[in-house]
Structure 1
């Protein structure tokens, strides 16, 4: 009697009696529910990283200095002959005769007289003219060292005259010839005149010291035609060279095309070739490089640039094999040029998304030399990422260790499904980066990881920081926070994204607001949400109209809409129509999760129509065909309950068998209660009590 009383109390606590146990509803993946479920999209790292700034075409001027002014001859000044009578005064007579001798080509006679003047009359009023004229004489006799020394002495005179300034100027020119640029600069400082001739040679000093930008500042406004006639050709060459070195290829070509001097011919061929190459005029460029190799061969080092230029043209014409052959030729001759050419090939391949071959070429380039080590490390790392070699890319990004490459390291770890480790690199990028773009990207990925890890305190702090860069994005992140917390009205207020704003309104029972946002939107997910709104408003006809339209497309929404269309008939009790629609759906979506669910719902429909045997056969066939699937467990459960209702076979054995097979099934406790009821009806109070207590201890409320 006591045991019976205890069992009655247990039944009351469970609020279940044998006659009230019904066939439980099955949990469906999609059904007419009060809330629309959405998941925050995962922020995926980019599939491809940009290779970054491409390597510049190597200009030969980077390694080959301009030609010194070897062919520049000292200008002949208009010397004033001092007056004399019958050889008196002697210094005047000597100077006057020396001028005549020089102008008539009698250089030895002029030399003799001028040397005597320097030695005997160092204080003559025209002594600066004497030194300059003597320098000219030595120069014309081919005695350049003596000429240079005389010009230097003339430059040091304590006088102010044009001939003294020109002694300094031409002394500097000779210093350039002798590759003594520092001495040339000192001589130029003693020049008092500030005309274009003087300015030009100051510009030359910068150019010969590898300072093309400073040289251009001085040379850009000089018109070579206005200089001393002896300087014109060299001015054109030097100005063309400096413009070229400053990447002003059009202007350079206009000047160097006027040069006739053979002294500069080799350089001019390369200057023109690379100018046309950089202007993307490849036939013209190729012609000049070929002309260089035909005229000068490939023995001299400077010819490496002609080979290199032709290799670049091969790349432009998609002749990758030929370009690689030229890089191979350059490897033993000029490792830097070979490396550069390999890299240019790899860049071209990367532009065509052939990252695997690009990766191989970059590794080959790395073995060719050391000139581009840092550049290559970055390129190889990025190319490894772009080929899907994320572990290798991560190790290289980690080693490079700059804020941008910390960001890339985070990307690699996300690709490897290691978000916790990725978080550390994104945090480092945020902490160290001075680039707002890098910091913003890192913060966005950080917020996504915090959300996934449910670290909401850190998540909200990152959202606050993102707001400084992208307020709309931050608003949506805040919306997702409220959405996941099921604070739908706050989510509705926060979201900037119209769709999620409408979903939040729908879930917060703000149907009018949800409808007003979504009603005119034509995208598929918005139309699907509109169908939900109509279903919630019990406007089934409008809902079905949208669902039928959406179900025509072969995408996820189309699949879900088709299923929901059939289920709308099931939900209103139109089981005959539901059975037909579920069957139509199952045929269209064979071997999909929803297709299998549709078969079960079809069986449920027949059961509700009273066609129990038909339902039973469908369940049994389903279990045989789709064994070991979640849907098969659903079918087994339904079949177990069905058998219980039909009172066929050993009920206790059927239930115990199901519970043993599927102890974690969502509705297993309902079956346990049904089993306890069975034992209670058969007076097996001990077993019944044991099961009831088990259910209570698990604190499961059905």
Structure 2
């Protein structure tokens, strides 16, 4: 390709933010046309492309080489700033700070000077050196009083004070964002900071009063609904469910057109449920699902409804809402979970045949999800209960061979159970031993495996090993039902 073609392709991909392809063409240009009049510009774009593709070491090397040939050109401050940033993001923070300081020394009027000093403060913050971060942030305001970074600097100072536990100073700094920059994008975060500073001091009512007063004084802001919504969150987080319910109700009246209204009704339902008001909880969850089916909260409301109906043994109603939602919420990220809950509801209702079909549907339509794996486990348990050992073994073996989580641990245990029930004791013992070997952190299944190992050795008339296994159960759990069972089995061995 000609130099013009490589140059054009590189810039086309660069402007599309396809930095991988951009770097390919810019790099090709540099190799083929090192004497080109555009070589410095192309090298800079190559470095920027590496930077955009998060190849920070490669980008920093090019920026460094460019700096050797650039002194007071129009791009020198930019190159030095990018070089410093690349060093920082490559994990070389000490060297980055040195270069950021060099930028302020060499280019005190650069548009990157205030940014470079701010990043120095951010580096101190990241290292948990909050006092140093505060000094650096304050220096930004002192050296560059007209900086556009003012809101974020005050907010960052507030965060540093918050992490030091100096909540009053944090409130003061966050407050300067509200007073000096009431229309900035940092206002919402600053209000959050003030709220959490009050809460950290157990001053919940002060936090609530502050938010309410701020909303009254700033009705035109486009996030007042989000701030008001936080009042309910505060009370719910403190387990004051009655006040949470009241505040969420107030929210729906005050902001009826807010996108957060479905979520408010959802949390009203949760608050009612926590107060044992199941009928009112059902009413609010139903409202979310029926009135706001396109909201992100609709699926969560269906799941809560299903949980309540299952707990109350109103299985037909649970099945009805789950089936309906599978049609209406098929694009939801929680559709697989809803489909799995349908199968679980059939299990709870004793309808094993329908449960089997439902779990098969989960595997068919939601393959690759965690709920497909859970469905396979449930199918294995149903097959084991029905003594369809070959099917059960298939599911349990598949899961235990590819998963290392709790599902894999449970599957491995039940693989042992399946083999044990068929009197294939040698393979059963191997399966139970593998639970402890592969899944040692899942105590429930490891302990149960030791119990079944004891049972297996009893069947094999190896009393010594059987005793060892039951004693291992007692070593792990000296109290509780499993300990009682282990002691009974030990006493039976003569």
Mapped to 2, the partners of 1:593 and 1:448 lie a distance apart of 35
2:288 maps to 1:544:
no
Instruction: After superposition, give the CA deviation of every residue in 1:398-418 in whole Å (9 maximum; x if it has no partner).
Output: 5325873444436998xxxx9
Aligned-pair CA distance for 1:692: 5.1
Aligned-pair CA distance for 1:530: 4.0
The structure 2 residue matched to 1:592, chosen from 366, 369, 374, is 369
Instruction: After superposition, give the CA deviation of every residue in 1:118-173 in whole Å (9 maximum; x if it has no partner).
Output: xxxxxxxxxxxxxxxxxxxxxxxxxxxxxxxxxxxxxxxxxxxxxxxxxxxxxxxx
Q: Is the 8 A contact 1:488 1:504 kept in 2?
A: yes
Rg larger in 1 or in 2?
1
Aligned-pair CA distance for 1:597: 1.9
The structure 2 residue matched to 1:509, chosen from 276, 284, 294, is 276
The structure 2 residue matched to 1:400, chosen from 125, 137, 140, is 140
Instruction: After superposition, give the CA deviation of every residue in 1:611-670 in whole Å (9 maximum; x if it has no partner).
Output: 22211112112333x243443223212212333333321455643442343232152333
**Corresponding residue number in structure 1 for 2:34:** none
Q: Is the 8 A contact 1:575 1:606 kept in 2?
A: no
Aligned-pair CA distance for 1:548: 1.1
Structure 1 residues 662 and 531: CA distance shift in structure 2, 3 A: closer
**Corresponding residue number in structure 1 for 2:468:** 687
Mapped to 2, the partners of 1:680 and 1:486 lie a distance apart of 51
The structure 1 residue matched to 2:174, chosen from 430, 436, 443, is 430
Aligned CA-pair RMSD = 5.0
2:439 maps to 1:649:
no
**Corresponding residue number in structure 1 for 2:441:** 664
Q: Is the 8 A contact 2:451 2:470 kept in 1?
A: no
Aligned-pair CA distance for 1:444: 0.7
Q: Is the 8 A contact 1:444 1:466 kept in 2?
A: no
The structure 2 residue matched to 1:572, chosen from 349, 368, 371, is 349
The structure 1 residue matched to 2:396, chosen from 619, 626, 629, is 619
The structure 2 residue matched to 1:442, chosen from 181, 187, 190, is 190
Q: Is the 8 A contact 2:346 2:355 kept in 1?
A: yes
Map 1:142-541 onto structure 2 (within 5 A): 377-378=113-114, 391=123, 397=137, 399-401=139-141, 404-409=151-156, 420=163, 426-427=170-171, 429-430=173-174, 435=179, 437=182, 441-445=189-193, 447=195, 457=202, 462-463=207-208, 465-470=210-215, 476-477=229-230, 479-484=232-237, 488-489=241-242, 491-495=244-248, 496=251, 497-518=264-285, 519=287, 520-522=290-292, 523-526=295-298, 528-530=300-302, 532-533=304-305, 536-537=308-309, 538=314, 539-541=317-319
Q: Which structure: greater helix fraction?
A: 2
Mapped to 2, the partners of 1:620 and 1:641 lie a distance apart of 12
2:310 maps to 1:557:
no
Name the SS of the counterpart of 1:469 in structure 2. helix
The structure 1 residue matched to 2:411, chosen from 635, 650, 657, is 635
Q: Is the 8 A contact 2:272 2:280 kept in 1?
A: yes
Name the SS of the counterpart of 2:425 in structure 1. coil
Q: Is the 8 A contact 2:235 2:243 kept in 1?
A: yes
Mapped to 2, the partners of 1:661 and 1:529 lie a distance apart of 37
Name the SS of the counterpart of 2:404 in structure 1. coil
Mapped to 2, the partners of 1:680 and 1:430 lie a distance apart of 69
Structure 1 segments unaligned to the other structure (5+ residues): 1-331, 344-362
Mapped to 1, the partners of 2:174 and 2:162 lie a distance apart of 16
Q: Is the 8 A contact 2:396 2:412 kept in 1?
A: yes
Structure 1 residues 517 and 408: CA distance shift in structure 2, 3 A: same
Name the SS of the counterpart of 1:556 in structure 2. coil
Structure 1 residues 592 and 541: CA distance shift in structure 2, 3 A: closer
**Corresponding residue number in structure 1 for 2:383:** 606
Instruction: After superposition, give the CA deviation of every residue in 1:309-360 in whole Å (9 maximum; x if it has no partner).
Output: xxxxxxxxxxxxxxxxxxxxxxx9xx9xx99xx99xxxxxxxxxxxxxxxxx
Aligned-pair CA distance for 1:502: 1.6
Structure 1 residues 589 and 404: CA distance shift in structure 2, 3 A: same
